[in-house]
C-alpha cells in the first residue's frame, strides 16, 4: 500500500492495484462454450416454471 503525506500533514493511503491482464484475440472461449452458461440457465428457468405449474395444478 502506498502512503503519501499531504500539505496539512495528513496521510493518504492508496491500495495497490493488481497487474493488468490483456486478452489476446482468440484466447477466450469460442462458440458453444461461450453460450453454454446461458443455455443451461434458460433450461433451468424453463424447468422451474414447469415444476411450479405442475405443483399449482395447472390451468
**Residue 39 domain-assigned (yes or no):** yes
- Given this model, what pLDDT does residue 45 score? 97
CA dihedral 24, 25, 28, 29 (to 10 degrees): -170
pLDDT higher than 90, residue 7: no
- Given this model, what pLDDT does residue 59 score? 62
- Given this model, what pLDDT does residue 5 score? 86
pLDDT higher than 70, residue 25: yes
Q: 11 near 3, Cβ under 8 Å?
A: yes
**Residue 19 domain-assigned (yes or no):** no
pTM: 0.47
Q: Share the mean pLDDT of the chain.
A: 85
Per-residue cell: 51 = 415444476
- Ranges of H-type helices in the chain: 32-55
- Domain containing 58 equals 32-59
Q: What average pLDDT does the segment 47-52 reach?
A: 95
d(CA 37, CA 29): 12
Amino acid at each position: 500500500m502506498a502512503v503519501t503525506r499531504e500539505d496539512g500533514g495528513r496521510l493518504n493511503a492508496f491500495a495497490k492495484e493488481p497487474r493488468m491482464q490483456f486478452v489476446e484475440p482468440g484466447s477466450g472461449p469460442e462458440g458453444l462454450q461461450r453460450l453454454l452458461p446461458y443455455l443451461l440457465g434458460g433450461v433451468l428457468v424453463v424447468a422451474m416454471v414447469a415444476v411450479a405449474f405442475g405443483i399449482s395444478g395447472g390451468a
